[in-house]
Amino acid sequence: MKTEIFTKAISNRNRLQILYEFEETLFEPYYLSLDKKGKKVVFGRLNNAKEIKMIEYDKILNIKILNYSHFSPIIPILN
């Protein structure tokens, strides 16, 4: 069920409201992947930060899609 929610949010560029490490945050998901240990992770921005973070899939609870809130991915331009 989590994977379906994240897939939908990534394709529609919806922000999510999640409970991560017992703290409620806004999250802009970019993509799902596996880390070096084979655990599922999600890459994205937490609380409109300027950096993209990897968060552990298992620690994400209470996912809510914010349909009214869309985002554009940040693509760094190198000189």
Q: Measure the CA–CA gap between 26 and 36, rounded to whole angstroms.
A: 26
The number of folded domains in the chain is 1
The predicted pLDDT at position 79 comes to 54
The predicted pLDDT at position 71 comes to 75
Residue 32 lies in a domain: yes
CATH code of the domain covering residue 48: 2.30.30
Residue 66 lies in a domain: yes
Indicate the pTM of the whole model: 0.80
Task: Write the pLDDT tens digit of every residue in 5-60.
Answer: 999 999 988 999 999 988 999 999 999 999 999 999 999 999 878 888 999 999 99
- Which is more confidently placed, 67 or 14? 14
Residue 23 lies in a domain: yes
Residue 75 lies in a domain: no
Residue 77 lies in a domain: no
Residue 55 belongs to domain spanning = 2-70
Six-digit token string for 19 = 């409970």
